[in-house]
Structure 1
Amino acid sequence: MLFIPLWKRIVIWGLCALGILMAMPNLFYERVERHNDAVAAIEAGQDSETLNAQAAGWPSVLPSSLVNLGLDLRGGAHLLAEVQLGDVYATRIDGMWPSVRDELRDLRAQIGTIRRQPSAPDELRVAVSQVEGIQAAYDAVRGLAQPIVSLTGAGQNDIEVAVDGNEIVVTLSEAEKQATDDRTLQQTLEIIRRRVDEVGTREPTIQRQGADRVLIQVPGIGSADELKALIGTTARLTFNPVVGRTNNPDQNPGARNVILPSLDEEGVYYIIDPTPVVSGEDLTDAQPAFGQNGEPVVTFRFNASGARRFGDYTVANVGSPFAIVLDDEVVSAPVIRDAIQTGSGQISGNFTVEESTNLAVLLRAGALPAELSFLEERTIGPELGADSIEAGRLASIVAFAAVLVFMVLSYGFFGVIANVALIMNVALIFGFLSALGATLTLPGIAGIVLTIGMAVDANVLIFERIREELKTARGPARAIELGYEKALSAIIDANITTFITAVILFMLGSGPVRGFAVTLGIGILTSVFTAIFVTRLIIVTWMERRRPKTIVV
């Protein structure tokens, strides 16, 4: 006989109620979205009557999670950028010069004087005056090589050292270049994500494509130019020794020194040593603030390593100027009055409040390790997103209505029960997506439409099986019970294979393919739940109340 324990009934209806409750905010999308934005702004320290009114526009006791709309539905910006990995090689090699120089200084008795020679960006050439000591110099520099920490470069060193006449040539090994490429791409993805997250956009798509490219899609942002301005700035901050000051940008700065313009003083240029004392990579925090005279500034704090190096430098160079360099411009060049060993300081300049805030965001997110070249950029207007939403809504309604009509015409009252379960299924899908904070795209809508068509498959199997059992002159209750039992294996087999396909699509796909896989996978889970449990519970409840002698399926 048909029997469902009370605790199972409570669990089934409880899950259905929870799904409907989680999906409900999507019926009031703009209202809930304004509420969420206002709450986030208030938590960030902003406060106004408008924000408070918007925050009160949705009851706080109700769920406020929404299904995020993807780029093709909401509009936004799309960029495809190429990471200039060669810049990273040059920076790595340039950063090795102080270590090589210090190592060779201890061998002056054997190799004489040393001098860095002009070379390609990705190699370091050091000439020695006594060529007979070149082997000793080679051995010393070889001692600087470090093993590569990566799976692909295990057992190999990070640098290769060669001898060319009276010169030592240092280059990165191929294994180290590969490991550097991977690290650079990962760092670039993380920094771009942090910068985008800082401005509060929802569910951006930021992923690697190929060996040196990054795909960035940000829904809700105004234009591709706005997105480029946000992520394309390297915000490279360094603290460099000052060699001199000049008004002539064409003056010879001397060996390896560079001339950089002043950000504040028009027509003033500084000659600096390009090897930094510390860099933005040592920053742990940066915040907009106001200086002693009320002008906007940016305060910063170094990590332990950076604070130690900066402190050691200021102790040894009291009375000398040092340059704060931001993106190849000298923000300021103060004179070191006292040793600075606190690990914190501030950047001042002719900043507006907005400029100081944006600079703090960029510094806090970190410097991009390499320049980005934008190969493709598109701005998708909100009107195109509205058209996509309307097309997706129309497709869903047509599919939904067609399935409802088909089920009623084919199975009568049992078809109505299947339709109730189908409506519940759609509510559960949106409740699940809302709880996950998932992003809905056009392919995702296609996954939902496909799920609507597939959702009734299980009910069709069950109802057809019940029909077969009724032909054997069994009673209605027994026929329904056997119909569910014997159709169960076919339902599980069919949905498991489809779910495996969805998992593979999610693991191997990207962007729109993943969106389709997510909605398809969730739809499979909810459709199995509604077909096996919800429809059975409704039928059992109806049977208990009506106790029909015969049924028509």
Structure 2
Amino acid sequence: MRNSKSKKSQKTNSTILFLVAVLAVGLLAYAGFFGFKNVFGYRVKPFTETINKGLDLQGGISVLEEIKGNVDNDTLERTIEMLSMRVNPEGVKETTVQREGKNRIRIEIPGEFNSKKVLDTIGKTGKLEFKGPDGNVILTGTDIKDASAYLDDMGSPTIGLELKEAGAKKFADATSKFLNQRIAIYMDDEMLTNPTVSAVITNGKATITGSETLEEASRQANIIKSGALPVTLEAVEFKTVGATLGSNALPLSMKAGAVGISLVLLFMLIYYRGPGLMADIALIFYVVLVLGTFSAVKATLTLSGIAGFLLTVGMAVDANVLIFERIKEELKLGKSIRNAIDAGFGKALSSILDSNITTIIAAIILYNLGSGSVKGFALTLMIGIVLSIFTALTITRFLLKLSVEMGLVNSTSHFGIKRG
């Protein structure tokens, strides 16, 4: 009698837990794809608004710049910082400025179609200026010897500035004249920082405080140092993706992805029935989880990235197929459903890890050696594979066990196995 009540209670608890899980997945999916207009006064944006879209999805300009002559790694990194500030001074655009090869820099500006403006902005000589409160120029980039960022004794981000001999003399006069006043630092007429002069500096070595983080201080130090870089940039590749082409690519890609995922869900449901339904719920959660991760890490989604994402959906399904086939083998040996599920997951683990780890290694190589769209493909592939392993081994297993406990999957025929 007690055993019967215990089983009934377990079935009820499992049913409630299953319904809560399905409801949670449904709400997350709805929020991700459609959003909510008003949740406690806040608007929940859909993935289409929170995930950055690449050049090929919304149109824009891509430029490949080459630095003439031999440059070291520090010079290249500082040049990247300088170009980043030029093409995105407010820091709000979805621009990409990254190294490509030994001495090339790829610049992508989605939503921008004025090619002359972009080329003029990128190609102009960097102009670093220190200006006093009267607006007169005190120092230029040629007066800077070095600039670096560090944490001072109090743990505050600080920029250490070292000037050349001529610059040191000019700065000594300026700090004496403008003591307790501000000297602003500009790069290409954009204010970089505006520190207050707290002491007369005669030795050509100054410190600039006020940065909120060490990363911000490093960025500013690199830009200050880059003001004196004797580098020449040449555009070796230039392309414009039209707004119409870019805007058409996204809905077509979304439609193709929706059709592909729907066919996969339908296949799992028809072929594996009850267990297939659990896999479908886990797969929907997986899709939401991956897209949510893209949004959280501010990844830029491109056409190749969408291809990588859809590939990981296939690999997520493949993991479930491996698990279910292992379970079927265990059922054929006469094991109970519960024991077959535990054994199936355990025996499928090595196969799942082997296939996915080799793909992750390939993706890492592509990310490090590739460029532009190849990096986007590799990044989405890595994120998707890691999350597909997680959902297959945890979410699918969790849902499958609940389905057994509540009696939804209680016969070997639900796995396609008929016992005589």
| Equivalent residue, structure 2, for 1:225 | 116
What is the count of residue pairs matched by the alignment?
A: 346
Distance 1:476-1:27 versus aligned 2 partners, 3 A rule: same
Among 190, 200, 203, which residue is 1:360 paired with?
190
Distance 1:20-1:231 versus aligned 2 partners, 3 A rule: farther
Contact 2:50 2:295 in 1 (8 A): yes
1:186-226 residue CA offsets vs partner (Å, 9 max, x unmatched): 32112112333423344433233445432211223343323
| Equivalent residue, structure 1, for 2:43 | 58
* AA partner of residue 453 (structure 1): G
* Residue 376 in structure 1 maps to residue 360 in structure 2: no
Distance 1:540-1:209 versus aligned 2 partners, 3 A rule: closer
| Equivalent residue, structure 2, for 1:45 | none
* Residue 73 in structure 1 maps to residue 60 in structure 2: no
Give, in whole Å, the separation in 2 of the partners of 1:404 and 1:314: 69
Among 102, 105, 112, which residue is 1:214 paired with?
105
Among 155, 160, 169, which residue is 1:312 paired with?
169
Distance 1:473-1:82 versus aligned 2 partners, 3 A rule: closer
Among 52, 76, 82, which residue is 1:185 paired with?
76
Distance 1:19-1:201 versus aligned 2 partners, 3 A rule: farther
* AA partner of residue 531 (structure 1): A
Give, in whole Å, the separation in 2 of the partners of 1:233 and 1:183: 21
Distance 1:409-1:279 versus aligned 2 partners, 3 A rule: same
Give, in whole Å, the separation in 2 of the partners of 1:429 and 1:510: 22
TM superposition shift of 1:482? 1.8
1:95-114 pair list within 5 angstroms: none
| Equivalent residue, structure 2, for 1:130 | none
Distance 1:279-1:401 versus aligned 2 partners, 3 A rule: same
TM superposition shift of 1:521? 1.2
Give, in whole Å, the separation in 2 of the partners of 1:462 and 1:516: 27
1:38-86 residue CA offsets vs partner (Å, 9 max, x unmatched): xxxxxxxxxxxxxxxxxx87369x999922111111222111223344x
Secondary structure in 2 matching 1:546: coil
Contact 1:19 1:427 in 2 (8 A): no
TM superposition shift of 1:440? 0.8
Give, in whole Å, the separation in 2 of the partners of 1:432 and 1:20: 17
TM superposition shift of 1:454? 1.4
Contact 1:458 1:491 in 2 (8 A): yes
Distance 1:549-1:407 versus aligned 2 partners, 3 A rule: closer
TM superposition shift of 1:20? 7.4
Give, in whole Å, the separation in 1 of the partners of 2:176 and 2:326: 86
Distance 1:197-1:223 versus aligned 2 partners, 3 A rule: same
| Equivalent residue, structure 2, for 1:543 | 404
Taking structure 1 as the reference length, the TM-score comes to 0.53
* Residue 441 in structure 1 maps to residue 332 in structure 2: no
| Equivalent residue, structure 2, for 1:236 | 127
Distance 1:359-1:548 versus aligned 2 partners, 3 A rule: closer
Give, in whole Å, the separation in 2 of the partners of 1:66 and 1:277: 43
Give, in whole Å, the separation in 1 of the partners of 2:267 and 2:384: 20
Give, in whole Å, the separation in 2 of the partners of 1:449 and 1:63: 16
Taking structure 2 as the reference length, the TM-score comes to 0.69
TM superposition shift of 1:516? 0.9
TM superposition shift of 1:28? 4.8
1:448-485 residue CA offsets vs partner (Å, 9 max, x unmatched): 11112111111111111222222222222222222222
TM superposition shift of 1:399? 1.5
Distance 1:548-1:279 versus aligned 2 partners, 3 A rule: closer
* AA partner of residue 194 (structure 1): M
* AA partner of residue 402 (structure 1): L
* AA partner of residue 68 (structure 1): N
* Residue 502 in structure 1 maps to residue 363 in structure 2: yes
* AA partner of residue 71 (structure 1): L
* Residue 420 in structure 1 maps to residue 287 in structure 2: no
Contact 1:429 1:522 in 2 (8 A): yes
| Equivalent residue, structure 2, for 1:50 | none
Contact 1:71 1:441 in 2 (8 A): yes
| Equivalent residue, structure 2, for 1:460 | 321
| Equivalent residue, structure 1, for 2:85 | 194
Secondary structure in 2 matching 1:412: helix
Secondary structure in 2 matching 1:525: helix
Distance 1:306-1:386 versus aligned 2 partners, 3 A rule: same
Distance 1:18-1:390 versus aligned 2 partners, 3 A rule: closer
TM superposition shift of 1:490? 1.4
Distance 1:549-1:235 versus aligned 2 partners, 3 A rule: closer
Contact 1:23 1:430 in 2 (8 A): no
Secondary structure in 2 matching 1:58: strand
* AA partner of residue 189 (structure 2): L
Q: Which runs of 5+ in 2 are unaligned?
A: 1-9, 131-136, 148-158, 194-219, 416-420
Secondary structure in 2 matching 1:79: strand
Contact 2:403 2:409 in 1 (8 A): no
Secondary structure in 1 matching 2:378: helix
Distance 1:192-1:357 versus aligned 2 partners, 3 A rule: closer
Give, in whole Å, the separation in 2 of the partners of 1:532 and 1:390: 32
